[in-house]
Structure 1
Amino acid sequence: MTACVHYQRQDDIGVIRIDNPPVNALGQAVRSGLLEALEQGLADDAVRVLVLMAEGRTFIAGADIREFGKPPRSPLLPEVIAHLEASPKPVVAALHGTALGGGLEVALGCHLRVALPGTRVGLPEVKLGLLPGAGGTQRLPRLTGIAPALELITSGRLVDAEEALALGILDRISEAETPLEAALDTARAVLVGDLPTRRTGELPAPAAKPQAVADCRQALERDCPELYSPFRALEAIEASSRLPLEEGLAFERRLFLDCMSSPQRAGLIHAFFAARAPHRVPEVEDVPALTRLALLGDHPLFETLRHRGERAGITLSEKPEGVEACLLAPGRQCTAGETLRIAIVSPEAANRAVDAELLLVVPAEAGCVELVDLGAGPPHQQAVAKALKALRLSVVVSRGESILACLQRAMEGSESSREALERAALEVAEAGLAYRHSDIDLLAIEALGYPRHLGGPHYQATAGASTPSSESTP
């Protein structure tokens, strides 16, 4: 058995435990381990029911995205789920944290699902240019009906445990302290006949809902006509009402592979990796985040930070004395000795001279901010970036000159903002302003409206020559 999946017996309950930190992703070792553990549990004559759980902060948070674009390695996830569903012994899935994508599909293949409070579940594959490819479009509608499945899968929305219970995705919410306790309590209820189990794939096909399908298609054509995978997901879900399970699974798989080969999938995954750690300054030893900051002047950002300071463990003051750094609203200065100065500016004002060691570029409406090193040095920049991250800001680090300002200037007066951004992205990369080329893409997507499914202007300008996993992670 692989080192990341373990089996043990507790009385007459067999426990299959996944331990693949940080998020128990469904890599090949986990898939193989699940099959081996299942075989061991089925061969254990003392065991009457099996439970599946995960260690750490979450259940299975999805597929191992590092395997995308590589040759498939056996066993494939649909095969693993088919074996779980076909088990002659009941299999109880105990969820906590998140059960996303392939993780939820694994749970759907089990015979009963229990979750701890605070658990969230979902099938967010469309956000990566894909659709659920291991039975999600066929099993979920059998539990929820067509209309809820359409909404959840084509949007990629996550739902909390209470909503999942109401929709029929979960069978029970447990007040137990740990996933293991929830799993064992639920398994004992199954053994004494208090909780029935069922194979999701053997449930009747959901009733056809042509109006719900038409309404969903109309909404997609209105909101995201350029996207490929949501429309394919719709086709697969609609098919669940008219095809037997095996045919529906085969149809889903064909559509999944179509999405996998789509350029949109590559672009969206590149954008996904770009957003993973843009606050990291490469080759900087781990430095602690600053914990004492002054907010000087008036800026809309300050009120947001004040609400978040206590929870982040960061003291926010309105005086420059006794702090490690000052965030300066436009027009304010700090004369407190050696205190690090961070000037807040808009992208339009980012090319003006400022008396500060760092520049915090804050777009009017954006999903991220840019922290530019003007002379503070990488360790100081990293300490500030970590503090801003703790304050729940999405931070992109850069150096010398604002990437956002360069990109925005390139768009001014241009007939094609996309082409202008792609040209400017190459110039920014050549100038060495970005620590990672993917940082250029992230800023353009989050702050300047560059289409996410294209991956970003630098990605497009270089035809996606670099793989997302190698370029976008620090």
Structure 2
Amino acid sequence: MSVHYQRHGEVGVISIANPPVNALGQAVRSGLLSALKEGIADQQAKALVVMAEGRTFIAGADIREFGKPPQAPLLPDVITQLEACPKPLIASLHGTALGGGLEVALGCHYRVALAGTRVGLPEVKLGLLPGAGGTQRLPRLVGVENALEIITSGRFVKAAEARDLGIIDAISDAQTPLEAGLAAAQAILTGQRQARITGQLPSPEANPQAIATMREQLETSVPALFSPFRIVEAVDACTKAASLEEGLRRERELFLACMDSPQRAGLIHLFFAARNPHVVPGVDSAQPFAHIALVGEHPLFDTLLKAAQRSELTLTHTPDASTELCLLAPGEDASACPSQAVTVALQLLTANASTSPISLVLSERGPFHELVNHGANAADQQRVALTLKALRANVVVTQCHSVLSTLYHAARQTPDNDAQSAMEQASLTLAQQGACYRESDIDLLAVEALGYPRHLGGPHRQATLPSPSSTHKKTPSEDAHS
């Protein structure tokens, strides 16, 4: 069972167990309602606690449901029933409470968090807005200006700040969410703490200045994006709606508008593209190299050495008989490396193609570098990729030709206003040449390393859309406000 109910003394505990991140899939949503019903019916339970097992509270929606028709019960309905619970309902948070996870917590009557907990509403990063009451309940706790900043940025808020703002009520020094939740419930039952229903709090005072300022900021920083402007509308509606229900209806309308936006599909595409770009298809059970030599000097090496302190890998500056992998700084050669070691040459984005069997093309911006296999064993490339991942360096694996360099030079050889089109044309050629293991890898590299507009989903996606005129041929102003 994804959710189960158990009573501890006079406190009923609703516990979510849906590893790894307790995502809000249909089984969890329906399980929450069943456990809530059980807790309400339990006459010996004077208060209820919602908590999650494992390493985190609810970290958001279930990605397996992305792009599929929604299944009842919908999350807004679940949260409405949680909020209507006739008994004090405490959310005990740990790890992260993100997206729908924070919205569940906002529907509870009191929120306690373990130290180190982070909360947030990051839906904007997927072209959406919080669609289960986040834009209506959060402003009631933190005001219009704070709500706008938190939701339009999608940032994670640390526990201390969340408490100071009023998102959570207390930080517990307990060791487990169960202990924290039970203690908070007892404090409420004995009158030491007070529970309150978020949706029954008065609407925040209208703040037209904050609304106008945020719109101006968005027009300057992300004029082409759709969902941030809908977020502003939803938060503004919170101050004007005659009731919570009216505000929730408006939020739902705006959420569905975001769902229908081409930008949402593009951002979801990139979300999935970023999940496992380091995986070489067809290579099973590969392991990182244990002994790595860093030949020469490069800033990346400093980063790898720091990460090695938290790993089981051994990094040295001098190759020896135990060296399994040599990373060569630009300009260095493999003569110092033992013959049995796999060699990888670091290559600047602007440099000529490497003659090394494997090269690591360094992006000048963003979190992803490109690991290109120019003819080495696929298993060796996979082991290198796993080694770099263990050292906190994100890579996209490709073959034959550098996707990153090809896109970079294509964009540089055309006027600025044609750079996107040039990358789109180059992406088709790269795919035909078999340079990528997954076509989405082209999109990921173009967006993260070369600044191709994120909301378009990447050049290859744009180049292969059935009707591209319906998305990126709008002007930024039209796209932002359509």
- Scaled by the length of structure 1, what TM-score is found? 0.95
Query: Which is further off, 216-225 or 3-12?
Result: 3-12
1:389 alignment partner in structure 2: 389
2:48 alignment partner in structure 1: 50
Residues in 1 aligned to 2:365 and 2:245: alpha-carbon distance in whole angstroms: 47
- Given candidates 126, 150, 154, the residue that maps to 2:124 is 126
Residues in 1 aligned to 2:371 and 2:70: alpha-carbon distance in whole angstroms: 40
Residues in 1 aligned to 2:412 and 2:189: alpha-carbon distance in whole angstroms: 69
- Deviation at residue 454 of structure 1 after TM alignment: 0.4
Deviations 1:117-153 (A, max 9, x none): 1111000111100000000000000000111001000
3-state secondary structure, aligned to 1:453 = helix
3-state secondary structure, aligned to 1:240 = helix
Residues in 2 aligned to 1:14 and 1:203: alpha-carbon distance in whole angstroms: 25
1:3-152 matches, cutoff 5 A? 3-152=1-150
3-state secondary structure, aligned to 1:417 = helix
- Deviation at residue 375 of structure 1 after TM alignment: 2.8
2:368 alignment partner in structure 1: 368
1:178 alignment partner in structure 2: 176
Consecutive unaligned residues in structure 1, runs of 5 or more: 466-474
Are the aligned partners of 1:320 and 1:334 in contact in 2 as well (CA < 8 Å)? Answer: no
Residues in 2 aligned to 1:50 and 1:291: alpha-carbon distance in whole angstroms: 49
Deviations 1:315-342 (A, max 9, x none): 2101111221010012212231211100
The one-letter code of the counterpart of 2:260 is: S
- Deviation at residue 68 of structure 1 after TM alignment: 2.9
The one-letter code of the counterpart of 1:357 is: P
- Deviation at residue 410 of structure 1 after TM alignment: 1.7
- Deviation at residue 426 of structure 1 after TM alignment: 1.1
1:157 alignment partner in structure 2: 155
Shift in CA distance, 324/46, structure 1 to aligned 2, threshold 3 Å:
same
Residues in 2 aligned to 1:218 and 1:413: alpha-carbon distance in whole angstroms: 34
Residues in 2 aligned to 1:389 and 1:350: alpha-carbon distance in whole angstroms: 25
- Deviation at residue 350 of structure 1 after TM alignment: 4.6
1:296-375 matches, cutoff 5 A? 296-321=295-320, 322-335=322-335, 336-352=338-354, 354=355, 356-375=356-375
Sequence identity percentage: 59
Residues in 1 aligned to 2:180 and 2:50: alpha-carbon distance in whole angstroms: 11
Deviations 1:143-195 (A, max 9, x none): 00111001000111111000000000000111111111111111111121111
The question of 1:427 aligning with 2:432 is answered: no
Residues in 1 aligned to 2:37 and 2:327: alpha-carbon distance in whole angstroms: 59
Query: Which is further off, 341-350 or 432-441?
Result: 341-350
Are the aligned partners of 1:350 and 1:402 in contact in 2 as well (CA < 8 Å)? Answer: no
- Deviation at residue 357 of structure 1 after TM alignment: 2.5
3-state secondary structure, aligned to 1:143 = helix
1:251-330 matches, cutoff 5 A? 251-321=250-320, 322-330=322-330
Are the aligned partners of 1:437 and 1:458 in contact in 2 as well (CA < 8 Å)? Answer: yes
Residues in 1 aligned to 2:81 and 2:448: alpha-carbon distance in whole angstroms: 42
Cα RMSD for the two superposed structures: 1.3
3-state secondary structure, aligned to 2:309 = helix
3-state secondary structure, aligned to 1:312 = coil
- Scaled by the length of structure 2, what TM-score is found? 0.94
- Deviation at residue 250 of structure 1 after TM alignment: 0.3
The question of 1:220 aligning with 2:222 is answered: no
3-state secondary structure, aligned to 1:99 = strand
Residues in 2 aligned to 1:464 and 1:198: alpha-carbon distance in whole angstroms: 51
Are the aligned partners of 2:365 and 2:450 in contact in 1 as well (CA < 8 Å)? Answer: no
1:469 alignment partner in structure 2: none
The number of aligned residues is: 461
Residues in 2 aligned to 1:5 and 1:463: alpha-carbon distance in whole angstroms: 41
Residues in 1 aligned to 2:326 and 2:66: alpha-carbon distance in whole angstroms: 43
- Deviation at residue 464 of structure 1 after TM alignment: 7.4
Residues in 1 aligned to 2:391 and 2:422: alpha-carbon distance in whole angstroms: 33
Residues in 2 aligned to 1:384 and 1:437: alpha-carbon distance in whole angstroms: 21
3-state secondary structure, aligned to 1:241 = helix
Residues in 1 aligned to 2:323 and 2:178: alpha-carbon distance in whole angstroms: 45
Deviations 1:4-26 (A, max 9, x none): 11111111111111111111111
Consecutive unaligned residues in structure 2, runs of 5 or more: 468-482
Are the aligned partners of 1:126 and 1:154 in contact in 2 as well (CA < 8 Å)? Answer: yes
The one-letter code of the counterpart of 1:314 is: L
- Deviation at residue 461 of structure 1 after TM alignment: 1.1
